[in-house]
A and B are shown apart, each in its own frame.
Chain A
Amino acid sequence: MIHLPATLKISLRALRINKMRSALTMLGIIIGVAAVITMLAVGKGASNKISEQIATIGSNLIIVIPGSTTSSGIRLGSGTYQNLTIADSEAIRNECSAVATTAPVLNGSAQVVYGNQNWASGVFGTDENMIEVREWTLASGRNFYDQEIRSAAKVCLLGRTVADNLFGNDDPLQKTIRIRKVPFTVIGLLEPKGQSMMGQDQDDVIYVPISAAQRNLFGRYFPGTVRSIMVKAVSTDALERAETQIRELLRQRHRLGSSQEDDFTVRNLTQMMQTAEQASRVMALLLAAIACVSLLVGGIGIMNIMLVSVTERTREIGIRMAVGAKTWDIRMQFIIEALVLSLIGGLIGVGLGIAIAEVLSFLTEWTILISLYSILLSFGFSGLVGIFFGFYPAYKASLMSPIDALRHE
């Protein structure tokens, strides 16, 4: 078989002789590879960002909200019916095998005051399981005690935004804030989660015991009723099972006949997010596939130039054959030449792609993620393109008759 270093040297010399032509041929591959890398980096960054956001709402999350009421023939929309109770929340926690835990929610908006500062925030009456359901971490302080939930203790947990607005740099623990003029003692501070996928600030939140919320803040609700129940399934695979179990349990508890519609709605938040993540991943792959087309076009450029090169160097091929080059010696020479062309192009393309992705993320503040996988993929693909499109010209060269090739002018 042929000596690789010598063949490589021959290829490099041939490419150097036609610098402009080689550069233009490579350009197709460079653009292709750079496009693949950029597209994958942007797409991967987007889907990673969505995954992160999924993690912040808490994994395997299901929300149960009351159904709609009808008043004099006017349907009032979901959540207007006050038929979900703390007892429902507890029944779901205790009776559904696919459910890890639940937290009831009775929420509203309220003005909060500390010293000479005030702030309007979402106040959520809930129980001690909320921390687990939403996967909050406590930055300092402690969670509610079971006792505090039952006795409607006036204690609260603060999100970072609320704490920053009321306390600035002071430590909020054990301080008393007023929510709708009712004093509550801060017992814990939550780690920040950042924005949700819809752009809401998830840290603009105050948690209080649901009993205290009902008694002292949102008294218009009938005691024991909730505005929603947050449910955490035991695993992602159990999400659908949990949904079915919740639906069956609540229909039974609400005494609904088989012909009646549900008087509540079960929403699978995690699944919605995962769908969004999947969509962005598909989008990234689609973009990369389009970029691959330009790699393919670059490959055709290589084939074109290699065919020209083979014709131009017919006499050289004849000389090599006359002194003993075999079919595969000639074939390898031209395949390696095409490969060198495409791999150099690929290498430059990788560099250019990374540069474009970085500049793009700098200018647009998009999250980008350049994975080793995408680099290897596009570089490997450019090599395959070189071999694939180099083969036909090489094959043509290797089948020349030595006499005709030697006589070629």
Chain B
Amino acid sequence: MTALIETDQLEKRYEVGDSVVHALDRVSLKIFPGEFVAVMGPSGSGKSTFMNVIGCLDEPTAGRYFLDGIDVSRMDRDALAEIRNQKIGFVFQGFNLLPRTSALENVEVPLLYDKTHPKDRRNRAREALKLLGLEERMQHHPNQLSGGQQQRVAIARALVNDAPLLLADEPTGNLDTKTSIEIMELFVRLNEQKKITIVLVTHEPDISAYSRRIIRFLDGRIVSDRENRP
């Protein structure tokens, strides 16, 4: 089985004045299709940089990164944009929905940048919202939705392109406990039923408990990588 994510000696260095900061220090790992991985670590441990590189938002300084068997570590901006569009769905802590734009149109955004026909676009966005139980809220703007609903719209947006990989950066950071549980159960369901690979960054043990593999970062290195039984 080919790994969905495979990194080989991945490095990310920043030069701050005279000193060099190793945000990622020779990280090598494999994540296979269908896994549910939690990435943990204190702030500054490199887990966010790791997510950015894995999400093709940032380029590594050295090392190689294969996504779905494709070497993406040396791709240019537009090629990376296409990879993000086709292979990755993002869920952020701050939801990152477009303001003054309906839920439906928010979910449609990724489809604007591939070759989806406008009619198809609307239908697929509707389906994604339905899957997340938001059929009643399609025309609502983000400021008319609760935090949990907003995050579900964001998840619908991440799913609309049928991307095999879902990257979630502190997805429950802005939500209360009850809503957090709902969202995490949603992730588990998507992972089990739709076989979507989920990589989730969190610093809360309660949240990482839902995953089946926990990777811990410290000073840019992986310090532990173990299975988890939810």
Contacts and interface: CB of A to CB of B under 8 A. Distances in A.
B114 interface: yes
B84 interface: yes
A402 interface: yes
Interface residues of B, number: 28
A323 B78 contact: no
A129 to B, nearest CB: 75
A17 B100 contact: yes
Contacts of A324: 81-82, 84-86, 110, 113-114, 161
B3 interface: no
Nearest to A333: B112
Listed from nearest, the 4 A-B pairs whose CB atoms lie closest are A324-B85, A324-B113, A323-B110, A326-B78
B65 to A, nearest CB: 16
Interface in B88-142: 90, 92, 96-101, 108-110, 112-114, 118
B86 A323 contact: no
Interface stretch (A96-104, A312-320, A385-393): A312-320
A316 B113 contact: no
Interface of A: 2-3, 5-7, 13, 17, 315-316, 318-327, 329, 402-403, 406
A92 to B, nearest CB: 77
Contacts, number: 65
Nearest to B96: A319
A23 to B, nearest CB: 18
Contacts of B100: 13, 17
Nearest to B79: A326
A371 B91 CA distance: 56
Given A2-B113, A319-B96, A320-B109, A326 B57 contact: no
Given A323-B85, A329-B113, A406-B57, 5 more contacts: A13-B101, A322-B57, A324-B113, A326-B113, A327-B77
Contact of A402 (B57, B82, B118): B57
Given A17-B100, A322-B84, A403 B57 contact: yes
B157 interface: yes
B52 interface: yes
Interface string B148-177: 000000000100010000000000000000
B99 to A, nearest CB: 8
B52 A403 contact: yes
Contacts of B157: 323
B158 to A, nearest CB: 8
B68 interface: no
B35 interface: no
Contact of A319 (B58, B98, B118): B98
12 contacts: A318-B96, A319-B109, A320-B113, A322-B55, A323-B109, A323-B110, A324-B81, A324-B82, A325-B113, A326-B77, A329-B113, A402-B57
Contacts of B97: 319
A342 to B, nearest CB: 23
Contact of A3 (B84, B92, B110, B118): B118
A322 B52 contact: no
Contacts of A5: 118
Given A329-B113, A403-B57, A322 B90 contact: yes
A318 B96 CA distance: 9
